[in-house]
Amino acid sequence: MRLTVLGCAGSFPGPESPCSAYLVEAEGFRLLIDFGSGSLSTLQRYVGLHAPDAILLTHLHCDHMLDAVSYVVVRRYAPDGPYPPLPVYAPAGAPDRLAAAYGQENSTVEDVYQFYGLEPGTFPIGPFSVTVDRMNHPVETYGVRLEHDGRVLCYSADTAPCDALVRLAQGADLFLCEASYLDGVDNPPDLHLTGREAGEAATKAGTGRLLLTHLVAAWGSEAHTLESAAAAYTGPLEVVRAGATYEV
Ligand SMILES: [Zn+2]
């Protein structure tokens, strides 16, 4: 598997990166996981406007899904379009939320997207075996485990500490984990992880490599987040950047 980070800014786009979007490729199939604010730009820069063969939205917070609304225009009105409906795996409310955000009265986006509701379990998307489970976040949110050819990539989505995250990441070769919060601050509960908590989850799960994401550039400190994660996890560790690629 090959992972390309299209966007990794937490909560709102940062000066150096759009919000969450990750392209995972195997056998020529391209799965886009999350499609946050601004990431339609880097989709074009790093892979191509029509690259995705399927989309998975972990949850319906705008920093994880809003550019799936802009992408309706790309699919529906392309000079060589309209393009055939693209599979979208997402929480059950996605069709209405995307249509509402698109903003036309009585509009639908189901000419552009073929929706599949997520629920905890394992299912195939293209060449990937995909397992999703509910995370600890205020809206219906799914962490994702992708398996292909004996290799495992796990993505936390947004979550506070929970057993489901550790189960999902168990033995993953690469663990892409959010680290939104700084340690030592009075953080709201049941929302996000600190670097230390991401490191603790990686250690409990025995992951091979930890990639930290979803830092909030304006409020955080990359150095602090790395340091606190390294105090809890001794494996290879880094903060991801838009445009970075990883072989899994
Ligand atoms: Zn969220």
User: 157 C-alpha to center of ligand 1: Å?
Assistant: 8
User: 149 C-alpha to center of ligand 1: Å?
Assistant: 30
Rounded mean pLDDT, 179-200: 94
Chain segment 153-167, per-residue pLDDT in tens: 999 999 999 999 999
User: 70 C-alpha to center of ligand 1: Å?
Assistant: 19
Q: Any residues with CB less than 8 A from the CB of 78 and at least 6 apart, and which?
A: none
Q: Any residues with CB less than 8 A from the CB of 213 and at least 6 apart, and which?
A: 5, 8, 10, 20, 176, 177, 178, 179, 239, 240
In whole angstroms, how far apart are CA 198 and each of 11, 62, 159, 195?
A: 17, 22, 10, 5
User: 123 C-alpha to center of ligand 1: Å?
Assistant: 23
Give the confidence band of 129 by pLDDT, cuts at 50, 70, 90. Answer: very high
User: 81 C-alpha to center of ligand 1: Å?
Assistant: 32
Say how far apart CA 114 and CA 122 lie, in whole Å.
19
Mean pLDDT of the chain: 97
Is it the case that residue 99 has pLDDT exceeding 90?
yes
Rounded mean pLDDT, 212-220: 95
Say how far apart CA 190 and CA 198 lie, in whole Å.
14
Identify the H or E element spanning 26: strand 21-26
Whole-model pTM over 0.95: yes
CB atoms within 10 A of CB 111: 13
Chain segment 42-92, per-residue pLDDT in tens: 999 999 999 999 999 999 999 999 999 999 999 999 999 999 999 999 999
CA-derived radius of gyration, the chain: 17
User: 158 C-alpha to center of ligand 1: Å?
Assistant: 5
Say how far apart CA 183 and CA 102 lie, in whole Å.
38
Is it the case that residue 185 has pLDDT exceeding 90?
no
Q: Any residues with CB less than 8 A from the CB of 185 and at least 6 apart, and which?
A: none
Say how far apart CA 147 and CA 16 lie, in whole Å.
30
Rounded mean pLDDT, 102-131: 95
Place of tokens 């390294």: 230
* 3 state DSSP class of 237: strand
Length reported for the chain: 248
User: 201 C-alpha to center of ligand 1: Å?
Assistant: 18
User: 97 C-alpha to center of ligand 1: Å?
Assistant: 15
